[in-house]
A and B are shown apart, each in its own frame.
Chain A
Amino acid sequence: MNDMLLEVRGLSKSFGALRACDNINFDMHEGETHAVIGPNGAGKTTFISQLSGDLRPDSGTIRFAGENVTPLQAPARAQKGFARSFQITSIYREFTALDNVALAIQAHAGHSFRFWRPARSDPALREPARRYLDEVSLGERASALAANLSHGEQRQLEVAMALATKPRLLLLDEPVAGMGTEESQRMVKLLGSLKGRQTMILVEHDMDAVFSLADRISVLVYGRIIATGTPQEIRANPEVRRAYLGEDA
């Protein structure tokens, strides 16, 4: 089959003696929701960062929509259709929620060498930005400073920013980390509503979230993918149970 959106071959990355990613092969179809799970320090964030272009791999290739994007840096990959949220929320804290999303719109509305017209009164940026805020149910917080949003709201804002770039592939690094039960339920519901129409890679520790959202799951242990499969296959895989799910069975 050749309708792969993402094809990763032999991806490796070391930090000194630590092999954070060890010869990773990874494929994704358009429309798929793929979860990456694994114990702490397994290299999940390192893997995501190499996909987004924040980290340069030591070796291996990343093909995206048939094109080799390995040499591209983060901004160029974002223009190709990658978008990500970070494990530690990364937003523009001193801007309003609406400004944050409007900037995401602007990043994909041609070049920004426009020096005269005020960006904050530009309906071409503000109106779509409002729609994305509504989509993550932050519409009422549009004019709040991002720094003043609650932790859960900030994570929703970050997802809204990622969506506003109309990504072909959304990389979510622990989107429900540090959230209360109610907040995390809201986020899972939001991600569930994206499922199918938005291709996503989801790094997550919350197993309820993972097993309810993912079409396929890859298990990363010590920088290696030890198994890939449907949630049922992963649940039944003895090696996964031993290495990660912590069962003696």
Chain B
Amino acid sequence: MRERARLVFWALLVAALALLPPVVGALQEPFYVELVRRVMIFAIAAASLNLILGYGGLVSFGHAAYLGIGGYAVGILSFYGMDSGWLQWPVAVGASALVALAIGAVSIRASGMYFIMITLAFTQMLYYLGISIEEFGGDDGMRIKARSQFSGLIDLADPVASYYLVLVLMFATIYLVHRIAQSRFGMVLRAAKSNERRSRALGFAPYRYRLVAFTIAGALCGLAGALLANHTSFITPEFMHWTRSGEIMFMVILGGIATSAGPLLGALALLVAETLLSGWTEHWQVILGPLLILSVLFFRDGLAGVLPGARDE
């Protein structure tokens, strides 16, 4: 019964997102393709954060760093005339993984509030680095002249084609994180979150597993950064601003921590609410803030906890 509810939920979700472009195309509302593409890019970022925050209990307040590194990898390579996505995207993912490995190696030894502050501090460093490098636009940001090229296989300037690419990558990321969470590796990660002392007494050294998870999460978020740079044709240090880290964290919490559907639901709810409210009044943040607080107070398990079929087993 539960299994069937889950199947129906995911089938509806995939169908709704896959059918969106033709439907809004017929309605002459192409704006929604842009909006949902953005939602799905942030869902990738949130799903990657969910791996360490939701399953690993590592409250990283610096996850936007990898959005920035992924974005700047695309932007900087493009600036030097290297437009190939086959080069740009692996560099975006690889650089994000390396930086995550370095930040993780330092921060994971700390715990609680110290971990939060260290991850925040590293990301602020990268943010100010972005501001200080005038060559790549400084705090004004930089236009990307051409989107990533994939040997003519797909044209990312076509909003619908890039929508479907993002859609496929998002579901692939969600599925990958799901598999990792259920694997032996994921069980170690979740066990260490549940009771670290017990894990150590059993013979697990949680540090290594957390560091690898932190690196995977950074790499996946780097992919989201590469997608975001192509989505906006623009890179800016704002990608790495601490409020952006907070937003991604909020998506995970709002959607439902340690659930497969949560990051997507959270990204969808937050960005759609933001768009609707900001179209309605310029003081939209005053309304969104209390709404978010209420939703966290009343939906302890997030949106995935209230939607039928959205919860994992």
Q: Which residues of A contact B (CB under 8 A)?
A: 52, 54, 73-76, 78-79, 83-84, 86, 90-95, 99, 102-104, 106-108, 112-120, 122, 125, 161, 165
Tell me which residues across on chain A come within 8 A of B198, comparing CB atoms.
90-92, 161
Is there an interface contact between B195 and A92, defined as CB atoms closer than 8 Å? yes
Of listed A76, A112, A122, residue having the most chain B CB within 10 A: A112
B188 at the interface (CB under 8 A from A): yes
Tell me which residues across on chain B come within 8 A of A114, comparing CB atoms.
183-185
B205 at the interface (CB under 8 A from A): yes
CA distance A86 to B201 in the complex (A): 10
B191 at the interface (CB under 8 A from A): yes
Partner of A119, one of B183, B205, B209: B183
Is there an interface contact between A112 and B203, defined as CB atoms closer than 8 Å? no
Is there an interface contact between A74 and B185, defined as CB atoms closer than 8 Å? no
- Shortest Cβ gap from A196 to chain B (Å): 24
Is there an interface contact between B182 and A120, defined as CB atoms closer than 8 Å? yes
B202 at the interface (CB under 8 A from A): yes
Partner of B202, one of A104, A117, A119: A104
- Shortest Cβ gap from A85 to chain B (Å): 9
Is there an interface contact between A93 and B194, defined as CB atoms closer than 8 Å? yes
**Known contacts A112-B209, A114-B185, A116-B183; is A107 also within 8 Å of B203 by CB?**
yes
Tell me which residues across on chain B come within 8 A of A112, comparing CB atoms.
184-185, 187-188, 204, 209
Of listed B186, B188, B200, B202, residue having the most chain A CB within 10 A: B202
Is there an interface contact between B202 and A161, defined as CB atoms closer than 8 Å? yes
Tell me which residues across on chain B come within 8 A of A115, comparing CB atoms.
179-180, 183, 185-186
Q: 11 extra interchain contacts, Cβ-Cβ under 8 A, other than A54-B197, A73-B200, A165-B202? A: A54-B200, A74-B200, A78-B202, A91-B198, A95-B194, A99-B187, A112-B188, A113-B185, A113-B209, A118-B179, A119-B184
Tell me which residues across on chain A come within 8 A of B195, comparing CB atoms.
90-93
Tell me which residues across on chain A come within 8 A of B191, comparing CB atoms.
92, 95, 103
Majority-rule SS of B interface residues: helix
B82 at the interface (CB under 8 A from A): no
B212 at the interface (CB under 8 A from A): yes
CA distance A113 to B208 in the complex (A): 10
Is there an interface contact between B187 and A103, defined as CB atoms closer than 8 Å? yes
Tell me which residues across on chain A come within 8 A of B209, comparing CB atoms.
112-113
Is there an interface contact between B200 and A103, defined as CB atoms closer than 8 Å? no
Partner of A78, one of B180, B184, B188, B201: B201
Shortest beta-carbon contacts, A-B, top 7:
A78-B203, A107-B202, A75-B205, A107-B203, A74-B200, A118-B182, A114-B184
Is there an interface contact between A75 and B203, defined as CB atoms closer than 8 Å? yes
- Shortest Cβ gap from A75 to chain B (Å): 4
- Shortest Cβ gap from B135 to chain A (Å): 39
Closest residue of chain B to A122 (Cβ to Cβ) is B184
Partner of B201, one of A83, A102, A118: A83
CA distance A91 to B197 in the complex (A): 9
Is there an interface contact between B203 and A119, defined as CB atoms closer than 8 Å? no
The B167-223 residues at the A interface (CB cut-off 8 A) are 179-180, 182-188, 190-191, 194-195, 197-205, 209, 212
A-B contact pairs, 11 of them (CB 8 A): A54-B201, A73-B200, A74-B200, A75-B204, A106-B184, A107-B199, A112-B187, A115-B180, A119-B184, A161-B202, A165-B203
Tell me which residues across on chain B come within 8 A of A117, comparing CB atoms.
183-184
**Known contacts A95-B194, A103-B191; is A119 also within 8 Å of B186 by CB?**
yes
